[in-house]
Structure 1
Amino acid sequence: MERPAWAPPGIDISVPSVSRIYDYYLGGSHNFEVDRQAARRAMEFLPGLPKIMQANRAFMRRAVRYAVSQGITQFLDVGSGIPTFGNVHEIAQSASPEARVVYVDHDPVAVAHSRAVLNGDERTGVVAADLRKPREILDAPEVAKLLDLERPVAVLLVAVLHFLEDADDPYAAVAELSDALAPGSLLVLTHASYEGIPLPQEVAGGVVDVYRDIRNPLVMRSREEIVRFFDGFELVDPGVVSMPMWQAEGSEDPADGEAPEDPYAFSGYSGVGRKA
Protein backbone atom coordinates (compact mmCIF):
# COMPACT_ATOMS: atom_id res chain seq x y z
CA MET A 1 0.00 0.00 0.00
CA GLU A 2 1.45 3.31 -1.06
CA ARG A 3 1.74 5.87 1.74
CA PRO A 4 0.36 9.28 0.71
CA ALA A 5 2.51 12.32 1.45
CA TRP A 6 -0.05 13.61 3.97
CA ALA A 7 -0.01 10.44 6.10
CA PRO A 8 1.97 11.15 9.28
CA PRO A 9 5.00 8.88 9.75
CA GLY A 10 4.51 6.03 12.17
CA ILE A 11 0.78 5.65 11.43
CA ASP A 12 -0.35 2.12 10.58
CA ILE A 13 -2.35 2.78 7.43
CA SER A 14 -3.57 -0.83 7.30
CA VAL A 15 -5.88 -0.20 10.30
CA PRO A 16 -9.14 1.74 9.84
CA SER A 17 -9.52 4.98 11.82
CA VAL A 18 -12.84 6.36 13.05
CA SER A 19 -11.86 9.93 12.15
CA ARG A 20 -10.84 8.95 8.59
CA ILE A 21 -14.07 6.95 8.16
CA TYR A 22 -16.01 10.05 9.25
CA ASP A 23 -13.96 12.10 6.77
CA TYR A 24 -15.01 9.64 4.03
CA TYR A 25 -18.72 9.94 4.95
CA LEU A 26 -18.39 13.72 4.63
CA GLY A 27 -16.80 13.42 1.19
CA GLY A 28 -13.29 14.28 2.38
CA SER A 29 -10.04 13.08 0.84
CA HIS A 30 -8.07 12.18 3.99
CA ASN A 31 -8.90 8.50 4.14
CA PHE A 32 -7.35 5.24 2.99
CA GLU A 33 -8.85 2.24 1.19
CA VAL A 34 -9.05 0.38 4.51
CA ASP A 35 -11.24 3.23 5.89
CA ARG A 36 -13.41 3.30 2.77
CA GLN A 37 -13.96 -0.46 2.99
CA ALA A 38 -15.11 -0.20 6.61
CA ALA A 39 -17.36 2.77 5.75
CA ARG A 40 -18.92 0.95 2.81
CA ARG A 41 -19.51 -2.12 5.00
CA ALA A 42 -21.27 0.05 7.60
CA MET A 43 -23.35 1.69 4.85
CA GLU A 44 -24.61 -1.72 3.74
CA PHE A 45 -26.54 -1.77 7.03
CA LEU A 46 -27.19 1.96 7.31
CA PRO A 47 -27.08 3.59 3.88
CA GLY A 48 -27.94 6.98 5.38
CA LEU A 49 -24.68 7.33 7.34
CA PRO A 50 -23.39 10.25 5.20
CA LYS A 51 -26.70 12.08 5.78
CA ILE A 52 -26.41 11.50 9.54
CA MET A 53 -22.88 12.96 9.49
CA GLN A 54 -24.01 15.97 7.44
CA ALA A 55 -26.83 16.64 9.94
CA ASN A 56 -24.27 16.28 12.72
CA ARG A 57 -21.97 18.89 11.16
CA ALA A 58 -24.87 21.24 10.44
CA PHE A 59 -25.97 21.05 14.09
CA MET A 60 -22.38 21.71 15.21
CA ARG A 61 -22.21 24.86 13.06
CA ARG A 62 -25.52 26.17 14.46
CA ALA A 63 -24.40 25.41 18.03
CA VAL A 64 -21.09 27.28 17.52
CA ARG A 65 -22.94 30.32 16.14
CA TYR A 66 -25.37 30.10 19.07
CA ALA A 67 -22.44 30.08 21.52
CA VAL A 68 -20.96 33.21 19.91
CA SER A 69 -24.39 34.87 20.03
CA GLN A 70 -24.31 34.23 23.81
CA GLY A 71 -20.95 36.00 24.11
CA ILE A 72 -18.83 32.83 24.24
CA THR A 73 -15.65 33.03 22.18
CA GLN A 74 -13.72 30.07 23.66
CA PHE A 75 -14.18 26.57 22.29
CA LEU A 76 -12.82 23.20 23.37
CA ASP A 77 -13.64 20.59 20.70
CA VAL A 78 -12.99 17.10 22.10
CA GLY A 79 -12.90 14.24 19.61
CA SER A 80 -12.54 16.80 16.84
CA GLY A 81 -11.39 14.43 14.09
CA ILE A 82 -9.84 15.58 10.82
CA PRO A 83 -10.54 19.26 10.08
CA THR A 84 -12.87 19.53 7.09
CA PHE A 85 -14.47 22.56 5.49
CA GLY A 86 -16.72 24.48 7.91
CA ASN A 87 -14.91 23.37 11.04
CA VAL A 88 -15.31 24.96 14.47
CA HIS A 89 -12.57 27.59 14.14
CA GLU A 90 -13.86 28.76 10.73
CA ILE A 91 -17.44 29.13 11.97
CA ALA A 92 -16.44 30.69 15.30
CA GLN A 93 -13.88 33.11 13.86
CA SER A 94 -16.22 34.25 11.09
CA ALA A 95 -18.81 35.04 13.81
CA SER A 96 -16.23 36.60 16.17
CA PRO A 97 -12.65 37.46 15.21
CA GLU A 98 -11.59 36.97 18.87
CA ALA A 99 -12.71 33.33 18.95
CA ARG A 100 -10.14 30.84 20.22
CA VAL A 101 -10.41 27.11 19.60
CA VAL A 102 -8.55 24.11 20.98
CA TYR A 103 -9.04 20.83 19.12
CA VAL A 104 -8.51 17.56 21.00
CA ASP A 105 -8.26 14.08 19.55
CA HIS A 106 -6.52 10.84 20.45
CA ASP A 107 -6.16 9.72 16.82
CA PRO A 108 -2.59 10.62 15.72
CA VAL A 109 -3.83 11.08 12.13
CA ALA A 110 -6.44 13.62 13.20
CA VAL A 111 -3.90 15.44 15.39
CA ALA A 112 -1.26 15.60 12.64
CA HIS A 113 -3.79 16.86 10.08
CA SER A 114 -5.15 19.45 12.46
CA ARG A 115 -1.66 20.79 13.12
CA ALA A 116 -0.94 20.99 9.39
CA VAL A 117 -4.22 22.75 8.61
CA LEU A 118 -3.95 25.18 11.52
CA ASN A 119 -0.27 25.97 11.16
CA GLY A 120 0.19 29.70 11.67
CA ASP A 121 -3.24 30.31 13.22
CA GLU A 122 -2.40 31.88 16.59
CA ARG A 123 -5.94 31.51 17.94
CA THR A 124 -6.19 27.74 17.53
CA GLY A 125 -4.37 24.86 19.16
CA VAL A 126 -4.31 21.07 18.90
CA VAL A 127 -3.98 18.62 21.79
CA ALA A 128 -3.30 14.89 21.54
CA ALA A 129 -5.40 13.53 24.42
CA ASP A 130 -8.27 11.17 25.17
CA LEU A 131 -11.70 12.06 26.56
CA ARG A 132 -11.31 9.10 28.92
CA LYS A 133 -8.60 11.13 30.71
CA PRO A 134 -10.12 14.62 31.12
CA ARG A 135 -7.24 15.81 33.32
CA GLU A 136 -4.81 15.38 30.39
CA ILE A 137 -7.02 17.70 28.34
CA LEU A 138 -7.48 20.31 31.06
CA ASP A 139 -3.76 20.36 31.93
CA ALA A 140 -2.56 20.61 28.32
CA PRO A 141 -0.30 23.64 27.67
CA GLU A 142 -2.39 24.62 24.61
CA VAL A 143 -5.50 24.86 26.80
CA ALA A 144 -3.67 27.06 29.33
CA LYS A 145 -2.30 29.25 26.53
CA LEU A 146 -5.51 29.78 24.56
CA LEU A 147 -8.43 29.34 26.96
CA ASP A 148 -9.28 31.13 30.19
CA LEU A 149 -11.24 28.56 32.21
CA GLU A 150 -12.34 31.33 34.59
CA ARG A 151 -14.57 32.55 31.75
CA PRO A 152 -17.31 30.61 29.91
CA VAL A 153 -16.15 28.01 27.38
CA ALA A 154 -18.19 25.97 24.91
CA VAL A 155 -17.14 22.31 25.15
CA LEU A 156 -18.05 20.29 22.07
CA LEU A 157 -18.47 16.52 22.35
CA VAL A 158 -19.83 15.99 18.86
CA ALA A 159 -20.15 12.35 17.74
CA VAL A 160 -17.56 11.17 20.27
CA LEU A 161 -19.35 9.91 23.40
CA HIS A 162 -20.81 6.92 21.55
CA PHE A 163 -17.24 5.59 21.18
CA LEU A 164 -16.90 5.39 24.97
CA GLU A 165 -18.17 2.15 26.43
CA ASP A 166 -19.93 2.03 29.81
CA ALA A 167 -16.73 0.52 31.25
CA ASP A 168 -14.96 3.80 30.32
CA ASP A 169 -17.45 5.67 32.56
CA PRO A 170 -18.29 8.42 30.07
CA TYR A 171 -20.53 10.17 32.61
CA ALA A 172 -17.59 10.63 34.99
CA ALA A 173 -15.42 11.94 32.13
CA VAL A 174 -18.03 14.54 31.15
CA ALA A 175 -18.58 15.50 34.81
CA GLU A 176 -14.83 16.03 35.32
CA LEU A 177 -14.63 18.29 32.27
CA SER A 178 -17.78 20.12 33.37
CA ASP A 179 -16.49 20.71 36.90
CA ALA A 180 -13.55 22.69 35.45
CA LEU A 181 -15.84 25.06 33.55
CA ALA A 182 -17.00 28.51 34.64
CA PRO A 183 -20.74 29.17 35.11
CA GLY A 184 -22.34 30.14 31.81
CA SER A 185 -20.24 27.60 29.90
CA LEU A 186 -21.97 25.44 27.29
CA LEU A 187 -21.89 21.69 26.72
CA VAL A 188 -22.64 20.81 23.09
CA LEU A 189 -23.07 17.16 22.18
CA THR A 190 -24.45 14.69 19.68
CA HIS A 191 -24.82 10.96 20.26
CA ALA A 192 -25.80 7.93 18.19
CA SER A 193 -28.99 6.11 19.13
CA TYR A 194 -31.25 3.49 17.61
CA GLU A 195 -34.07 5.98 18.22
CA GLY A 196 -34.95 7.88 15.07
CA ILE A 197 -33.18 5.52 12.64
CA PRO A 198 -35.70 4.65 9.89
CA LEU A 199 -34.78 0.93 10.04
CA PRO A 200 -35.48 -1.94 12.43
CA GLN A 201 -32.89 -2.14 15.21
CA GLU A 202 -31.77 -5.63 14.13
CA VAL A 203 -30.81 -4.21 10.70
CA ALA A 204 -29.17 -1.00 12.00
CA GLY A 205 -27.32 -3.11 14.57
CA GLY A 206 -25.06 -4.38 11.78
CA VAL A 207 -23.24 -1.02 11.95
CA VAL A 208 -22.36 -1.66 15.59
CA ASP A 209 -20.80 -4.98 14.52
CA VAL A 210 -18.68 -3.23 11.84
CA TYR A 211 -17.26 -0.78 14.38
CA ARG A 212 -16.65 -3.60 16.87
CA ASP A 213 -14.72 -5.45 14.16
CA ILE A 214 -12.39 -2.47 13.70
CA ARG A 215 -11.87 -2.29 17.48
CA ASN A 216 -13.84 0.94 17.91
CA PRO A 217 -17.04 -0.16 19.64
CA LEU A 218 -20.03 2.06 18.84
CA VAL A 219 -22.42 2.34 21.80
CA MET A 220 -26.01 3.25 21.01
CA ARG A 221 -27.69 4.99 23.96
CA SER A 222 -31.31 5.97 24.57
CA ARG A 223 -32.47 9.57 24.78
CA GLU A 224 -32.81 9.17 28.55
CA GLU A 225 -29.18 8.00 28.83
CA ILE A 226 -28.01 10.90 26.62
CA VAL A 227 -29.91 13.48 28.71
CA ARG A 228 -27.92 12.27 31.76
CA PHE A 229 -24.74 13.77 30.27
CA PHE A 230 -26.29 17.19 30.95
CA ASP A 231 -26.42 16.74 34.73
CA GLY A 232 -25.54 20.15 36.24
CA PHE A 233 -26.54 21.96 33.04
CA GLU A 234 -29.73 23.73 32.09
CA LEU A 235 -30.86 22.55 28.65
CA VAL A 236 -31.12 25.24 25.99
CA ASP A 237 -34.39 25.10 24.01
CA PRO A 238 -35.55 22.88 22.42
CA GLY A 239 -33.67 20.41 24.68
CA VAL A 240 -32.31 17.04 23.56
CA VAL A 241 -33.77 16.47 20.10
CA SER A 242 -32.80 14.99 16.75
CA MET A 243 -30.12 17.07 15.04
CA PRO A 244 -32.20 18.87 12.37
CA MET A 245 -34.68 19.95 15.06
CA TRP A 246 -32.18 21.93 17.15
CA GLN A 247 -32.71 25.64 16.39
CA ALA A 248 -32.76 25.09 12.64
CA GLU A 249 -35.15 27.94 11.80
CA GLY A 250 -33.53 31.04 10.42
CA SER A 251 -30.17 29.31 9.98
CA GLU A 252 -27.74 31.51 8.05
CA ASP A 253 -26.02 28.56 6.40
CA PRO A 254 -27.88 26.95 3.50
CA ALA A 255 -25.94 23.74 4.20
CA ASP A 256 -27.61 23.60 7.61
CA GLY A 257 -30.99 23.11 5.99
CA GLU A 258 -30.06 20.38 3.54
CA ALA A 259 -30.43 17.27 5.65
CA PRO A 260 -33.93 17.48 7.21
CA GLU A 261 -35.80 16.09 4.20
CA ASP A 262 -33.81 12.89 4.56
CA PRO A 263 -35.26 10.59 7.27
CA TYR A 264 -31.76 9.41 8.22
CA ALA A 265 -30.88 12.94 9.38
CA PHE A 266 -33.22 12.40 12.35
CA SER A 267 -31.16 9.48 13.72
CA GLY A 268 -29.65 10.03 17.15
CA TYR A 269 -29.75 13.11 19.38
CA SER A 270 -28.21 16.52 19.91
CA GLY A 271 -28.37 19.07 22.66
CA VAL A 272 -26.80 22.12 24.27
CA GLY A 273 -26.70 22.78 28.01
CA ARG A 274 -25.68 25.87 29.99
CA LYS A 275 -23.80 25.48 33.24
CA ALA A 276 -25.63 27.13 36.11
Structure 2
Amino acid sequence: MTTDHSADAPPGPEGDRIVPHGIDVETPHKARVYDYLLGGKDNFEPDRALAERLLHKEPRLREGARANRRFLMRAVRMMAERGIRQFLDLGAGLPTRPNIHEVVQEVAPECRVVYVDNDPMVLVHARALLTGSPEGKTTYVDADLRDLGAIVEKAAETLAFTEPIGVTAVASLHFLTDEQLAAVLPALREPLAPGSALAISHVVTGLASVMDDYRASVGSGYPRTPEHIEALFDGWSLLPPGLVEPDAWRPGPEIAQITERASMADMVLCGVAVLQEQR
Protein backbone atom coordinates (compact mmCIF):
# COMPACT_ATOMS: atom_id res chain seq x y z
CA MET A 1 0.00 0.00 0.00
CA THR A 2 1.24 3.44 -0.79
CA THR A 3 -1.60 5.73 0.27
CA ASP A 4 -1.87 7.38 3.70
CA HIS A 5 -5.53 7.52 4.73
CA SER A 6 -4.82 8.89 8.20
CA ALA A 7 -6.22 12.25 7.09
CA ASP A 8 -9.65 10.76 6.42
CA ALA A 9 -10.82 12.14 9.78
CA PRO A 10 -9.77 15.19 11.82
CA PRO A 11 -7.02 14.49 14.36
CA GLY A 12 -6.97 15.48 18.00
CA PRO A 13 -3.96 16.47 20.11
CA GLU A 14 -2.25 14.58 22.93
CA GLY A 15 0.17 17.25 24.04
CA ASP A 16 2.01 18.05 20.80
CA ARG A 17 1.13 14.69 19.25
CA ILE A 18 -1.46 14.01 16.59
CA VAL A 19 -4.11 11.50 17.60
CA PRO A 20 -6.23 10.03 14.79
CA HIS A 21 -9.93 10.71 15.22
CA GLY A 22 -11.82 7.91 16.98
CA ILE A 23 -8.78 6.48 18.79
CA ASP A 24 -9.26 5.86 22.53
CA VAL A 25 -6.04 7.06 24.15
CA GLU A 26 -7.37 6.94 27.71
CA THR A 27 -7.43 3.13 27.92
CA PRO A 28 -4.39 0.86 27.48
CA HIS A 29 -4.41 -1.12 24.25
CA LYS A 30 -2.54 -4.36 23.63
CA ALA A 31 -0.96 -3.26 20.32
CA ARG A 32 0.32 -0.02 21.84
CA VAL A 33 1.60 -1.70 25.02
CA TYR A 34 3.52 -4.15 22.83
CA ASP A 35 4.79 -1.25 20.72
CA TYR A 36 6.15 0.41 23.88
CA LEU A 37 7.89 -2.80 24.96
CA LEU A 38 9.52 -2.99 21.53
CA GLY A 39 10.78 0.59 21.89
CA GLY A 40 8.22 2.15 19.54
CA LYS A 41 6.64 5.58 19.75
CA ASP A 42 3.06 4.78 18.74
CA ASN A 43 1.76 4.60 22.31
CA PHE A 44 0.19 6.87 24.91
CA GLU A 45 0.52 7.47 28.64
CA PRO A 46 -1.97 4.76 29.74
CA ASP A 47 -0.14 2.22 27.55
CA ARG A 48 3.23 3.19 29.00
CA ALA A 49 1.90 3.18 32.56
CA LEU A 50 0.56 -0.35 32.19
CA ALA A 51 3.75 -1.55 30.53
CA GLU A 52 5.90 -0.09 33.30
CA ARG A 53 3.67 -1.68 35.94
CA LEU A 54 4.07 -5.05 34.24
CA LEU A 55 7.82 -4.54 33.85
CA HIS A 56 8.08 -3.87 37.56
CA LYS A 57 6.50 -7.27 38.10
CA GLU A 58 8.50 -9.05 35.37
CA PRO A 59 11.59 -7.15 34.13
CA ARG A 60 12.19 -9.63 31.29
CA LEU A 61 9.04 -8.54 29.44
CA ARG A 62 10.80 -5.99 27.24
CA GLU A 63 13.47 -8.43 26.12
CA GLY A 64 10.78 -11.09 25.72
CA ALA A 65 8.87 -8.87 23.29
CA ARG A 66 12.02 -8.23 21.29
CA ALA A 67 12.94 -11.92 21.25
CA ASN A 68 9.44 -12.66 20.04
CA ARG A 69 9.92 -10.22 17.17
CA ARG A 70 13.28 -11.77 16.27
CA PHE A 71 11.62 -15.18 16.13
CA LEU A 72 8.95 -13.86 13.76
CA MET A 73 11.54 -12.49 11.35
CA ARG A 74 13.57 -15.72 11.32
CA ALA A 75 10.41 -17.80 10.87
CA VAL A 76 9.12 -15.91 7.83
CA ARG A 77 12.57 -15.82 6.27
CA MET A 78 12.79 -19.58 6.66
CA MET A 79 9.36 -19.96 5.04
CA ALA A 80 10.40 -17.79 2.10
CA GLU A 81 13.63 -19.74 1.72
CA ARG A 82 11.52 -22.94 1.58
CA GLY A 83 9.71 -21.50 -1.42
CA ILE A 84 6.58 -19.98 0.15
CA ARG A 85 5.61 -16.79 -1.66
CA GLN A 86 2.40 -15.85 0.18
CA PHE A 87 2.02 -14.76 3.81
CA LEU A 88 -0.92 -14.14 6.12
CA ASP A 89 -0.13 -12.33 9.38
CA LEU A 90 -2.88 -12.74 12.00
CA GLY A 91 -2.82 -9.97 14.59
CA ALA A 92 -0.29 -7.74 12.83
CA GLY A 93 -0.11 -5.01 15.45
CA LEU A 94 1.62 -1.70 14.81
CA PRO A 95 4.31 -1.71 12.10
CA THR A 96 7.80 -2.35 13.49
CA ARG A 97 10.80 -2.46 11.18
CA PRO A 98 11.73 -4.82 9.80
CA ASN A 99 8.20 -5.86 8.86
CA ILE A 100 7.29 -9.24 7.40
CA HIS A 101 7.02 -7.98 3.82
CA GLU A 102 10.47 -6.38 4.04
CA VAL A 103 12.05 -9.65 5.14
CA VAL A 104 10.33 -12.04 2.72
CA GLN A 105 10.53 -9.70 -0.29
CA GLU A 106 14.26 -9.49 0.32
CA VAL A 107 14.33 -13.26 -0.29
CA ALA A 108 11.84 -13.16 -3.17
CA PRO A 109 10.51 -9.76 -4.34
CA GLU A 110 7.31 -11.35 -5.72
CA CYS A 111 6.09 -12.35 -2.24
CA ARG A 112 2.57 -11.25 -1.33
CA VAL A 113 1.74 -10.35 2.26
CA VAL A 114 -1.63 -9.77 3.92
CA TYR A 115 -1.65 -8.21 7.37
CA VAL A 116 -4.76 -8.74 9.53
CA ASP A 117 -5.86 -6.67 12.52
CA ASN A 118 -8.99 -4.85 13.65
CA ASP A 119 -7.55 -1.94 15.62
CA PRO A 120 -8.23 1.53 14.16
CA MET A 121 -4.77 2.84 15.07
CA VAL A 122 -3.10 -0.18 13.48
CA LEU A 123 -5.17 0.44 10.36
CA VAL A 124 -4.01 4.06 10.12
CA HIS A 125 -0.33 3.11 10.37
CA ALA A 126 -0.64 0.07 8.12
CA ARG A 127 -2.13 2.12 5.31
CA ALA A 128 0.58 4.74 5.67
CA LEU A 129 3.68 2.57 6.10
CA LEU A 130 3.24 -0.87 4.58
CA THR A 131 4.52 -0.49 1.04
CA GLY A 132 5.79 -3.60 -0.69
CA SER A 133 8.12 -4.29 -3.60
CA PRO A 134 6.89 -3.52 -7.14
CA GLU A 135 6.97 -7.24 -7.97
CA GLY A 136 4.96 -8.32 -4.92
CA LYS A 137 2.01 -6.98 -3.03
CA THR A 138 1.33 -5.90 0.55
CA THR A 139 -2.22 -5.38 1.79
CA TYR A 140 -4.11 -4.97 5.04
CA VAL A 141 -7.36 -6.66 6.07
CA ASP A 142 -9.48 -5.05 8.76
CA ALA A 143 -10.98 -8.11 10.48
CA ASP A 144 -11.33 -9.84 13.83
CA LEU A 145 -9.13 -12.89 14.38
CA ARG A 146 -12.21 -14.76 15.59
CA ASP A 147 -13.85 -14.39 12.17
CA LEU A 148 -11.67 -16.64 10.02
CA GLY A 149 -14.32 -16.85 7.33
CA ALA A 150 -14.15 -13.09 6.72
CA ILE A 151 -10.35 -13.13 6.90
CA VAL A 152 -10.04 -15.90 4.30
CA GLU A 153 -12.57 -14.24 2.02
CA LYS A 154 -10.77 -10.89 2.10
CA ALA A 155 -7.27 -12.38 1.98
CA ALA A 156 -8.25 -14.43 -1.10
CA GLU A 157 -8.34 -11.16 -3.06
CA THR A 158 -4.54 -11.12 -2.71
CA LEU A 159 -3.51 -14.70 -1.87
CA ALA A 160 -4.17 -17.92 -3.80
CA PHE A 161 -5.32 -20.49 -1.25
CA THR A 162 -4.60 -23.26 -3.77
CA GLU A 163 -0.88 -22.57 -3.16
CA PRO A 164 1.11 -22.75 0.11
CA ILE A 165 0.73 -19.82 2.49
CA GLY A 166 2.92 -18.91 5.44
CA VAL A 167 0.64 -18.05 8.35
CA THR A 168 1.92 -16.20 11.39
CA ALA A 169 0.05 -15.98 14.69
CA VAL A 170 2.77 -14.46 16.84
CA ALA A 171 1.66 -13.06 20.20
CA SER A 172 -1.96 -13.13 19.07
CA LEU A 173 -3.60 -16.46 19.97
CA HIS A 174 -3.26 -15.87 23.69
CA PHE A 175 -5.90 -13.17 23.34
CA LEU A 176 -8.48 -15.85 22.50
CA THR A 177 -10.37 -17.99 25.00
CA ASP A 178 -10.16 -21.78 24.81
CA GLU A 179 -13.60 -21.86 23.19
CA GLN A 180 -12.57 -19.31 20.56
CA LEU A 181 -9.34 -21.18 19.82
CA ALA A 182 -11.26 -24.41 19.33
CA ALA A 183 -13.25 -22.72 16.56
CA VAL A 184 -10.45 -20.65 14.99
CA LEU A 185 -7.71 -23.24 14.54
CA PRO A 186 -9.64 -25.77 12.40
CA ALA A 187 -11.12 -22.89 10.38
CA LEU A 188 -7.58 -21.66 9.77
CA ARG A 189 -6.22 -25.04 8.67
CA GLU A 190 -9.12 -26.12 6.45
CA PRO A 191 -8.65 -23.74 3.46
CA LEU A 192 -4.84 -23.97 3.34
CA ALA A 193 -2.93 -25.96 0.74
CA PRO A 194 -0.35 -28.64 1.67
CA GLY A 195 3.06 -27.09 2.11
CA SER A 196 1.65 -24.16 4.04
CA ALA A 197 3.45 -23.22 7.23
CA LEU A 198 2.27 -21.91 10.61
CA ALA A 199 4.33 -19.91 13.11
CA ILE A 200 2.95 -19.45 16.62
CA SER A 201 4.27 -17.78 19.74
CA HIS A 202 2.26 -17.82 22.94
CA VAL A 203 2.67 -16.75 26.57
CA VAL A 204 3.17 -19.52 29.13
CA THR A 205 1.58 -20.01 32.54
CA GLY A 206 4.78 -18.77 34.21
CA LEU A 207 3.41 -15.32 33.36
CA ALA A 208 0.02 -16.01 34.96
CA SER A 209 0.30 -13.29 37.60
CA VAL A 210 1.47 -10.69 35.07
CA MET A 211 -1.27 -11.69 32.64
CA ASP A 212 -3.90 -11.34 35.37
CA ASP A 213 -2.95 -7.67 35.70
CA TYR A 214 -2.71 -7.27 31.94
CA ARG A 215 -6.12 -8.85 31.33
CA ALA A 216 -7.72 -6.59 33.93
CA SER A 217 -6.57 -3.59 31.88
CA VAL A 218 -6.97 -4.71 28.25
CA GLY A 219 -9.74 -7.29 28.66
CA SER A 220 -8.00 -10.44 27.39
CA GLY A 221 -4.79 -12.43 27.61
CA TYR A 222 -4.68 -16.09 28.59
CA PRO A 223 -1.38 -17.88 29.34
CA ARG A 224 -1.34 -21.61 28.62
CA THR A 225 0.76 -24.62 29.54
CA PRO A 226 3.45 -25.89 27.15
CA GLU A 227 1.26 -28.94 26.48
CA HIS A 228 -1.69 -26.76 25.53
CA ILE A 229 0.48 -24.57 23.29
CA GLU A 230 1.91 -27.61 21.50
CA ALA A 231 -1.65 -28.84 20.95
CA LEU A 232 -2.31 -25.67 18.93
CA PHE A 233 -0.27 -27.37 16.20
CA ASP A 234 -2.57 -30.42 16.01
CA GLY A 235 -2.96 -31.40 12.36
CA TRP A 236 0.41 -29.85 11.50
CA SER A 237 3.95 -31.29 11.50
CA LEU A 238 6.10 -29.37 13.95
CA LEU A 239 9.55 -28.59 12.55
CA PRO A 240 12.78 -28.91 14.56
CA PRO A 241 13.65 -27.72 17.15
CA GLY A 242 9.99 -28.04 18.18
CA LEU A 243 8.41 -25.83 20.81
CA VAL A 244 11.09 -23.62 22.39
CA GLU A 245 11.66 -20.12 23.74
CA PRO A 246 12.00 -17.52 20.95
CA ASP A 247 15.77 -17.09 20.81
CA ALA A 248 16.26 -20.87 20.83
CA TRP A 249 14.32 -21.31 17.59
CA ARG A 250 16.98 -21.65 14.88
CA PRO A 251 19.04 -18.76 16.30
CA GLY A 252 20.82 -16.55 13.80
CA PRO A 253 23.91 -14.34 14.11
CA GLU A 254 21.88 -11.62 15.85
CA ILE A 255 21.41 -13.88 18.88
CA ALA A 256 25.16 -14.37 19.32
CA GLN A 257 25.55 -10.60 19.58
CA ILE A 258 23.33 -10.44 22.68
CA THR A 259 25.77 -10.48 25.60
CA GLU A 260 23.25 -10.88 28.42
CA ARG A 261 20.20 -12.98 27.72
CA ALA A 262 17.93 -14.49 30.35
CA SER A 263 15.98 -17.68 29.76
CA MET A 264 12.37 -17.05 28.74
CA ALA A 265 11.03 -20.60 28.49
CA ASP A 266 8.71 -19.88 31.42
CA MET A 267 7.37 -16.76 29.66
CA VAL A 268 6.83 -17.52 26.00
CA LEU A 269 7.15 -20.52 23.68
CA CYS A 270 7.13 -20.66 19.92
CA GLY A 271 7.31 -23.06 17.02
CA VAL A 272 6.80 -23.48 13.28
CA ALA A 273 4.94 -26.33 11.60
CA VAL A 274 4.05 -27.37 8.05
CA LEU A 275 0.83 -28.75 6.65
CA GLN A 276 1.34 -32.15 5.05
CA GLU A 277 -0.64 -33.74 2.23
CA GLN A 278 -3.67 -35.57 3.62
CA ARG A 279 -3.53 -39.33 3.11
Asked whether the equivalents of residues 31 and 93 of structure 2 are also in contact (C-alpha less than 8 Å), the reply is yes
Contact kept, 8 Å, 1:67 with 1:154, in 2: the verdict is yes
Alpha-carbon spacing, 1:15–1:97, altered in 2? closer, same or farther (3 Å): same
Contact 2:13 2:19 in 1 (8 A): no
Kept in 1, the 8 Å contact 2:238–2:271? The answer is yes
Q: What residue ranges of structure 1 are gaps of 5+ in the alignment?
A: 196-203
Instruction: Determine the C-alpha separation between the residues in 2 that align with 1:228 and 1:12.
Output: 36
Residue 58 of structure 2 is aligned with which of 46, 65, 87? Answer: 46
Quote the residue 2:261 is aligned against: 262
Greater mean deviation of Cα atoms: 209-218 or 42-51: 209-218
**Aligned pair 1:185/2:184, yes or no?**
no
- Stretches of 4+ aligned residues off by more than 2 angstroms: 1-8, 119-122, 256-261, 264-267
Change beyond 3 A, Cα 1:6–1:70: farther
Q: Tell me, yes or no, if the aligned pair for 1:259 and 1:265 is still in contact at 8 Å.
A: no
Match of 2:162 among 125, 150, 175: 150
Aligned CA RMSD, in angstroms, stands at 1.9
- The TM-score with structure 1 as length reference comes to 0.89
TM-score where L is the length of structure 2: 0.88
Residue 89 of structure 1 and its aligned partner are, at CA, apart by 0.8
1:257 to partner: Cα distance: 4.2
Give the % identical residues.
39
Residue pair 2:29, 2:218 contacting (<8 A) in 1 also: no
Is the Cα contact below 8 Å between 2:30 and 2:218 reproduced in 1? Answer: no
Conserved? CA contact 2:208–2:223, under 8 Å: no
Give the match for residue 85 of structure 1.
Answer: 97
Mapped to 1, the partners of 2:40 and 2:57 lie a distance apart of 21
Q: Partner residue of 1:240?
A: 243
1:212 partner amino acid: R
Q: How does 1:1-276 map to 2 (within 5 A)?
A: 2-3=13-14, 6-118=18-130, 123-140=137-154, 143-167=155-179, 169-195=180-206, 204-248=207-251, 251=252, 254=254, 256-258=255-257, 261-266=260-265, 267-276=267-276
Task: Flag the 1:217–1:51 CA change in 2: closer, same or farther, 3 A.
Answer: same
Q: How far did residue 170 of structure 1 move?
A: 0.8
Question: Alignment length, in residue pairs?
Answer: 261
| SS of equivalent to 1:116 | helix
**Structure 2: how far apart are the matches of 1:193 and 1:117?**
32
1: distance between equivalents of 2:148 and 2:80? 24
SS at match of 1:211: helix
Q: CA offsets, 1:204-236, max 9 Å, x none? A: 443122212213322110111011111111111
Q: Which runs of 5+ in 2 are unaligned?
A: 1-11
Asked if the contact 1:171–1:229 (Cα under 8 Å) also holds between the matched residues in 2, the reply is no
Q: 8 Å contact 2:167–2:197 — kept in the other structure?
A: yes
2:175 maps to a residue whose letter is F
How much does 1:176 deviate?
Answer: 0.4
Task: Specify the code of the residue in structure 2 equivalent to 1:175.
Answer: P
